[in-house]
Amino acid sequence: MALNLNPLLSFTFLQMGYHTSPKFSVASMHRSVSREVTKKTSSSPRKVQVTHSMPPHKIEIFKSMENWVEENVLIHLKPVEKCWQPQDFLPDPASDGFHERVEELQERAKGTPDDYFVVLVGDMITEEALPTYQTLLNITDGIQDETGASPTSWATWTRAWTAEENRHGDLLNKTCNQSAGFWANIFKKIRYKHQIELCFSFLLVGSSSKDVQMENNPYLFFIYTSFQERATFISHGNTARLANQHGDKSLAQISGIIASDEKRHETAYTKIVEKLFEIDPNGTVLAFADRMRKKITMPGLLMYDGCDDDLFEHFSAVAQRLGVYTAKDYVDNLEFFVERWNVEKLTGLSSEGRKLRIMFVG
């Protein structure tokens, strides 16, 4: 039976706002609260960013988890030689039937509503910003890959996770490129693909991203990634379902295979936080509450194509309308993690920790 999540807590998080699709934002901010202007002048005031907020002595916790990570987290990775690759799902240019297969792909795309492709492109944009997410991992205290080839379990996870995630944007990008008619039918602008590619660059450069307030803190980071991966699993799963409904089995397969990766990654990150609750229940529940106050925002929240300051809102409104990822999904996920991490039964808490436990479970 699911926990009865504290209704006040749910309301509080709803008030934080999220327009959704989690690939742009697991929990985006309400416009009236905190939407930052994308295009900033050199004189714009900068917010002071908090860094290295985890007490230094807690780095030892993550060092002590090395063997546990090897035995319990790395098992959720697939050997490289057994991983699917984008070309496995696309017409082979070297094959005799290449042009016919591309034409079939384009023909199926014509029968799929425009809104579906809007969400698909949004997924692609954020997946293509993968280097941003690897950077966040590699500046997190206690788990950094200090050489780029570190043999630690944490570093091994980061590199392998990145390799698996890298296929997602690649596959979505190539799928859209081979559906040439899709670009013409939907956007009707010869430069629109150029603007989409601008989004990739803006997200990587950082001129359209925001501080997601990780603070180099692995507690905050792993709680964040648990939510993000679960939300992405749901989003891609719903995208696959919609493709099936519109008769496009190829797109359904593509979204489904990406969703299965996200599910494995969700399981790994969720297990890490579960272990942290076991080792340091008080520190972890404090971080959980802090992370929720900060909101689970993805760097793509302020995606920008050089023209549209409200691009994220336009994409996310479509995702919400299609039911790809909704506000209800976010609250359901919060309830899922409160139960999964057994917050209701935590012991060894400080007075503040006990108050936060009550806030979560009522």
Q: Which of 262, 266, 305, 335 is catalytic?
A: 262
Q: Which of 265, 266, 297, 329 is catalytic?
A: 265
The one catalytic residue in 38, 132, 175, 232 is 232
Q: Is 262 annotated as a binding residue?
A: yes
- 30 labeled binding residue: no
Q: How far apart are CA 5 and CA 12, in angstroms?
A: 12
Pair of tokens at residue 99: 């042009």
b/e per residue 271-305 (b: at least 16 CB within 10 A): bbbbbbbeebbbbbbbbbbbbbebbbbbbbbbbbb
DSSP annotation of 301 reads G
- Sequence-distant (≥ 6) Cβ neighbours of residue 150 within 8 angstroms: 144, 156
Alpha-carbon distance 181 to 342, whole Å? 50
Neighbours of 241 (CB within 10 A): 15
Tell me whether residue 36 is one of the annotated catalytic residues.
no
Q: Check if 165 is active-site.
A: yes
Quickly tell me which residue has 């991490």 as its tokens. Answer: 341
Please pick, among 30, 70, 84, 339, the residue that the annotation labels catalytic.
84
Q: Is 229 annotated as a binding residue?
A: yes
Residue 335 among the catalytic residues? no
36 labelled ligand-binding:
no
On whether 165 is known to bind a ligand per the annotation, the reply is yes
Q: Is 232 a catalytic residue?
A: yes
**229 carries an active-site annotation:** yes
What six digits make up the tokens of 223? 């709680």
Q: Is 114 a catalytic residue?
A: no
183 part of the active site: no
127 catalytic per annotation? yes
Kindly name the residue from 145, 164, 215, 261 that is annotated as catalytic: 261
CA angle 233, 297, 321 (to 5 degrees): 60
Which positions are annotated as active-site residues?
84, 127, 165, 168, 229, 232, 261-262, 265
Residues annotated in the binding site for Fe cation, as ranges? 127, 165, 168, 229, 262, 265
Residues annotated in the binding site, as ranges? 127, 165, 168, 229, 262, 265
